[in-house]
Amino acid sequence: MKIKTTIAAIATATIFAGASVATAETVSVGSTKGGAVAQIAAAVASAVSSHSEIQMRPQKMSGSQQYVDAVDLGKVDFGVANIMQYAMAKNGTGLSDGNVHDNLRLAGILVPFVTGVMVSNESGIKTLADLKGKRIPTGYGSSPLFVAFWDAFLGSAGISYDDVDGVNVASLPKSWAAFKAGEVDAVIAGVGSGAVKEMNSVVKGGIRFIPLIVSADVDAALPGSTIAPVEPSAKLVGVIEPTNTQHYTQTIFVGTHIDDETVYNVVKTIYENTEELKATSPLWRAYDPANLAQDYGLEYHPGAVKFFKEAGLMK
């Protein structure tokens, strides 16, 4: 009799456990198929899935513009993208020209990025104006934001794509491959990144970053980013002297179709697991959870706002 009771109890517990797993909430997070954004999205998804009752699953697409649209349409729940692309989507400008994404809300500000224009030390190129007549990557089929970068950077120096020799590339990594092969004279790359270190070891004479130009036109074309100097450092290959570079952040955003409690729990989990996130990649080195609620003049989801106020991150 005791044996039967025990078996029945185990069976009942198993049924309830199974029901609990079956009803666990699952959400998707838009991600690129590779690169820094994919690493950031994977780290967030792992932390949320491991430390909350929400299972977050990366949904990989060829480019972030695809899932920016999908989140707005309610087909994907969250997404990871840079602040510029998000601001363009919200305002209907740039890559989202004429298409205002009303159903997007910020959930948090994640990793700060610093990028710049890199050339060979032996190229003789010292300024953006020196790129006139040089071979510059264009196309970026899966990463159209980098065309906007070049348009803004070249424009600040009084030149344009019409003044350079455009070399078609499919993506940012493909532009790096072209640079290493000597097929282009300049590329955009992340300051302090592993890719830059690799290119420095391959390109004859090594590499250097050339200074970007502070310009209101650049600020308008690339909303949410700023041009500011970085100082030389042993960790920053190619920064030979104080050099103006582009500074921006990666964000996690969410559709208005997701309820407040879910967003609250996702943001809370991100905030409480900083060390785990930093352990996943050097990309998180400069991440500070105190900046999760950074103000870009863009609306946050009410669930995120609730947590930010509780945590003292937002008044």
> Where in the chain are the domains?
27-112+249-310, 114-247
Q: CB under 8 Å to 285, separation ≥6 — which residues?
A: 278
Res. 23 pLDDT band, cuts 50 70 90: low
pLDDT of 282 above 90: no
**Tens digits of per-residue pLDDT, 252-268?**
999 999 999 999 999 99
**Does the predicted TM-score (pTM) go above 0.75?**
yes
User: Domain 27-112+249-310's class?
Assistant: alpha beta
- Average of per-residue pLDDT across 261-286: 96
For 120-156, what is each residue's pLDDT tens digit?
999 999 999 999 999 999 999 878 999 999 999 999 9
Q: Is 218 exposed, middle or buried (0-12, 13-18, 19+ CB in 10 A)?
A: buried
Which amino acid does the sequence have at 93? T
CA nearest neighbour of 184 among 193, 192, 173: 173
Secondary structure, 3-state, the chain:
CHHHHHHHHHHHHHHHHHHHHHCCEEEEEEEECCHHHHHHHHHHHHHHHHHCCEEEEEEEECCHHHHHHHHHCCCCCEEEEEHHHHHHHHHCCHHHCCCCCCCEEEEEEEEEEEEEEEEECCCCCCCHHHHCCCEEEEECCCCCHHHHHHHHHHHHCCCCHHHCEEEEECCHHHHHHHHHCCCCCEEEEECCCHHHHHHHHHCCCCEEEECCCCCHHHHHHCCCCEEEEECCCCCCCCCCCCEEEEEEEEEEEEECCCCHHHHHHHHHHHHHCHHHHHHHCHHHCCCCHHHCCCCCCCCECHHHHHHHHHCCCCC
Nearest to 231 by CA among 221, 241, 223: 241
pLDDT tens digit sequence for 178-207: 999 999 999 999 998 888 999 999 999 999
Q: Which residues contact 279 (CB under 8 A, 6 or more apart)?
A: none
27-112+249-310 and 114-247 share one fold: yes
For residue 77, which of 56, 49, 91, 63 has the smallest C-alpha distance?
A: 56
For the domain made up of 114-247, give the CATH fold.
D-Maltodextrin-Binding Protein; domain 2 (3.40.190)
Categorize the per-residue pLDDT at 63 as very low, low, confident or very high, splitting at 50, 70 and 90.
Answer: confident
Higher pLDDT, 173 or 302: 302
* Residue type at position 206: G
